[in-house]
Structure 1
Amino acid sequence: MTNDHSSRNDRWSRRRIVSAAGGAAVAGLAGCLGDSDDDEDGPVAVASFFTFYDFARRIAAETPVSVENLVPTGMHGHGWEPDPSIQRDITDADAFIHVGPDFQPWADRAIDTLQAETQETRLIDAREGVELIDLADSLDDDEAVEGAKDPHFWLDPELAMTSVDNIADGLAEIAPDHEDTLTEHAAEVKSELEALDAEWQAVFDAAERDVTFLAAHNAFAYVAERYDVTIEPLVVNLAADGDVRPADMQRAQETIADNDIRHIGAAVFEPIRPAQQLLEQTDVEAYYPVTPYAGTTESWHERGWGYLEIARNVNMPTFRLLADAASPEEVTFEDYGRNFEP
């Protein structure tokens, strides 16, 4: 399993091979493919978002199902817009794991195309059955799904468990002979998410302050909701570039001053200049990394980090600092640590 899809354009999937041949040749070729133990000949699932790619690869371990991340390393899975060739990757796959309607316009277009062409790709909606919270005032309406709901549910480990079940059920549709293994691995992932939930609770139980601040957009409302904390964001939308609105910057400066904030979070996949500006213009002493698990960096990929590892090595250390649950001397980072540069 890999999140590098650079070679997929040169690979003929089972569906393409079968459609390109005919008669007895098709039966013979398909039979050879079905008898192969090579993972490349097994079902292929592609994912539109890093978090659900990661859950899927863990669930599919020790089965012939291969899982691929469509979003390139280093890219944010929400704001990224692929070129039209991505449709071929999705059409050729046996399953497409996505985050539900209205979240990624390119994924919605790909699904419309699949349905118009009556393609056989199995659609796996990771969000199905999840009860979303209302969109906060600190989020732009452009980020709303299902009318006026916040889409970032996977930051709550308990809600993320529903997506694990959705993915396991979908993968079982394309690999029914391995349903038991898929179900077993899904249970293991959910057990790990349950443990992670307890670890997050411990971070905020040890907090010495009520308000934390992120020099980023508000993707963390589910963390605030789950653990009953206040997380103030700098900007309201993901499209924020290096030029933050003066009103947002003034509000940030007032929040930092009113709450005597010394440490703030900065998003790994967003412009770093706003955090640096706050470092220069307020009493903030340092900024530290946060991420809504929307992508992976090259260094995280090389370490094999997924959702769980990023939570424990990036987000949790930062929130321990932001909440004054630990001092800077007590917290270490593998990379992207204090005042990191993208």
Structure 2
Amino acid sequence: MRRRLLSALLVPAVALAGCGDQAASGEKPEDGKFEIVTAFYPLQFLSERIGGDVVSVTNLTKPGAEPHDLELTPRQVGQIADAGLAVYIKGFQPAVDEAIGLEAEDKGFDAAAVVPLLPAGGEDDDGHEHSEAEGGEDPHVWLDPVRLATIAGKLAERLGQADPAHAAGYAERARALGAELTALNTEFAAGLKTCDRRELVTSHTAFAYLAARYDLHQVGITGISPEAEPSPQRLAAVAREARETGATTIFFETLVSPAVAETIAREVGARTAVLDPLEGLTDSTGDYFTVMRQNLATLETGLGCK
């Protein structure tokens, strides 16, 4: 049904694209800025930091909205068609994948295609690891600062190819951002080096990259999709592991209900805390670095780090 709805949107979107400020030929709008469309917040952050004041960035996912099930309006499809570059993560938002495939395939930058990915794994009701989808991969690469620094460099290269007049500036800003991300990685490594517990019990398995980078073990109540409902067996398995490992904190994320995490916490006598997967920015005064450092402080407290 979703594919049929999006396909129906693409017909009027073509007309909208023809009326846009930036033609498919690559002509720039009147303000001279190179236009980038991004699928959701972390990609908006990268594009704005690397692009600086020579780009105009449009984010398809509104602040505070859950991005997994984004549905596009005809206007948004037109924006994708008109953009000089469309930055997305393939497999994360099906509507965006389809629109880029049909309207802007030659102008798409898949951020997940330039770094090694982890399998979209989870755990079954008995706590055993399994692959959530045959051949599926985990899209949450931005939660690893090291991988994100690599993506920043590759995005700068792609922007330089699309907009050669500003290639040097893109590269310079990507290097500066990479240095900041390297420093953030150092902070996380130091902060999470010595902890009483290394089990990260989360409402959904968005933190595999963070866990792998800093030697934590993620225990997800649900899988990659935050809207999935865990079975009673899965809830029992997570509660059992939480008790066995002495977990004192069950982490839930900002854009979904904390009800399931609170249920587990009550059962094992733990508290809950927010761990933000940064799929959308909820505080307009913050940015990627602000939220990641809040996450680090939350982890240090919840895991008993010294």
TM-score (norm 1): 0.75
Q: 1:110 aligns with which of 99, 103, 106?
A: 99
Higher Cα Rg, which structure = 1
SS of the residue 1:324 aligns to: coil
Whether 2:219 is the aligned partner of 1:232: answer: yes
Q: CA deviation at 1:140?
A: 8.0
AA aligned opposite 1:255: E
Q: Distance in 2 between matches of 1:195 and 1:237?
A: 28
Q: CA deviation at 1:84?
A: 4.2
1:255-266 correspondence to structure 2 within 5 Å? 255-266=241-252
AA aligned opposite 2:249: H
SS of the residue 1:288 aligns to: strand
CA contact 2:138–2:224 (8 Å) conserved in 1: no
Q: 1:134 aligns with which of 102, 116, 119?
A: 119
Whether 2:301 is the aligned partner of 1:321: answer: yes
SS of the residue 2:91 aligns to: coil
Q: Where does structure 2 lack aligned partners over 5 or more consecutive residues?
A: 1-15, 124-128
Q: 2:232 aligns with which of 246, 266, 289?
A: 246
Q: CA deviation at 1:239?
A: 4.5
1:187-226 correspondence to structure 2 within 5 Å? 187-214=175-202, 216-226=203-213
Q: Distance in 1 between matches of 2:133 and 2:64?
A: 21
Q: Identity rate of aligned residues, in percent?
A: 24
SS of the residue 1:271 aligns to: coil
Deviations 1:43-89 (A, max 9, x none): 21010121111011011113x21112111111122332333442111
CA contact 2:122–2:205 (8 Å) conserved in 1: no
Q: 1:311 aligns with which of 270, 292, 302?
A: 292
Whether 2:79 is the aligned partner of 1:89: answer: yes
Q: CA deviation at 1:96?
A: 0.5
SS of the residue 1:205 aligns to: coil
Q: 1:52 aligns with which of 43, 55, 58?
A: 43
Aligned to 1:3: none
Runs of 4+ residues deviating >4 angstroms: 139-144
Q: Distance in 1 between matches of 2:132 and 2:47?
A: 28
AA aligned opposite 1:211: E
Aligned to 1:278: 264
CA contact 1:103–1:143 (8 Å) conserved in 2: no
Deviations 1:161-189 (A, max 9, x none): 12102221222233321111111100011
Q: Distance in 1 between matches of 2:131 and 2:268?
A: 29
Q: Distance in 2 between matches of 1:236 and 1:127?
A: 19
SS of the residue 1:219 aligns to: coil
**For the structure 1 residues 296 and 247, does the alpha-carbon distance in structure 2 shift closer, same or farther, using more than 3 Å as the test?**
same
Whether 2:280 is the aligned partner of 1:291: answer: no
Q: CA deviation at 1:153?
A: 2.1
Q: CA deviation at 1:279?
A: 3.4
Structure 1 vs Structure 2 CA RMSD: 2.6
Number of residue pairs the alignment of both structures matches: 285
CA contact 2:84–2:162 (8 Å) conserved in 1: yes
**For the structure 1 residues 81 and 142, does the alpha-carbon distance in structure 2 shift closer, same or farther, using more than 3 Å as the test?**
farther
Q: Distance in 1 between matches of 2:215 and 2:60?
A: 34
Q: CA deviation at 1:113?
A: 1.2
**For the structure 1 residues 76 and 140, does the alpha-carbon distance in structure 2 shift closer, same or farther, using more than 3 Å as the test?**
farther
**For the structure 1 residues 140 and 80, does the alpha-carbon distance in structure 2 shift closer, same or farther, using more than 3 Å as the test?**
farther
Whether 2:157 is the aligned partner of 1:177: answer: no
Q: Distance in 2 between matches of 1:141 and 1:255?
A: 20
Q: Where does structure 1 lack aligned partners over 5 or more consecutive residues?
A: 1-8, 20-29, 327-342
Deviations 1:190-230 (A, max 9, x none): 0011011111101211312232311x111111112111221
Q: CA deviation at 1:131?
A: 1.3
TM-score (norm 2): 0.84
Instruction: Judge which range, 133-142 or 164-173, deviates more.
Output: 133-142
**For the structure 1 residues 143 and 311, does the alpha-carbon distance in structure 2 shift closer, same or farther, using more than 3 Å as the test?**
farther
Q: Distance in 2 between matches of 1:176 and 1:228?
A: 41
Aligned to 1:70: 60
Q: Distance in 2 between matches of 1:85 and 1:142?
A: 34
Q: Distance in 2 between matches of 1:222 and 1:73?
A: 23
